[in-house]
Amino acid sequence: MKIYFYSGLILICIFWNSIYAQDSLNIPKKNTDIFSDLTIKNLDILRNRLVVLGSDKLYTLKFEKEYPGIDFFTQEVRKNLFNFKIISSENINSDYEILIGNLNFKTEYLKKSDGYLSNQKVKRNISAEFNFTIKKNIGDTLLFSGSRFEKYTDNINIEDVEKVEKNSYDFMKGVLPEQSFMNKIFVPAIAIAATLITIVLFYVIRSK
């Protein structure tokens, strides 16, 4: 009878630990990579306009005001529009001015479900948007204008949030939804207890 009892406990512990082991292997995409992908898509419309004006022209990149993420956006512009002469210095006379407005990067975590047999899931919403105008410096003639918005959504384990936010800007981090009592205290306690039972049973069975 004891053998069946111990065997049952061992199977429960193995099942419980295997759930968390499988979840730990499925590490989701980092927020920095997602923001980079979204910004690349958004820059397509700007690239098309610059192609019309010519890659031999000099462009000054400006912003309507200070936005969170200007440094990141500027890096992405230089990295993905490298075949165009884009500068940020206003002390150099350029052929055209690119003015960026409504630059908005957003990270949001929404409560999805309370998983009692596995890690709690949260819905991750990441979005990137901006609008732009292109003017000819002489006379400030408006040549082009437009706006872009891209969004990425998936579901991730709440334990993976710290991993996906690692080494990222502040705007790439979000606020986690409030956890229930079951997931905040009860479930972790069961996980710890299951681990301890596994260790105890290992030594009990080994001693026999």
Look-up of token digits 């890096």: 75
pLDDT at 89: 79
Q: Over the chain, what is the mean pLDDT?
A: 81
Task: Give the SS3 label for residue 99.
Answer: strand
pLDDT at 140: 77
CATH number for the 29-181 domain, one of 3.30.160, 2.60.120, 3.40.600, 1.50.10?
A: 3.30.160
Spatial separation of the C-alpha atoms in residues 70 and 94, rounded to whole Å: 21
Quote the pTM value: 0.73
Q: Determine contact, residues 118/18, Cβ cutoff 8 Å.
A: no
What confidence category does residue 137 fall into, taking pLDDT thresholds of 50, 70 and 90? confident
Q: Which residues pair with 99 in a beta bridge?
A: 62, 133
Say which range, 139-148, 154-163, 175-184, has the weakest mean pLDDT.
Answer: 175-184
What does each C-alpha distance from 206 to 2, 9, 200, 201 come to in angstroms?
A: 14, 15, 10, 8
24: which DSSP letter?
H
Task: Give the SS3 label for residue 128.
Answer: strand
Whether residue 151 is predicted with pLDDT greater than 90 in this model: the reply is yes
**Residue range 65-85: average pLDDT?**
95
Identify the CA nearest to 79 among candidates 39, 138, 51. Answer: 39
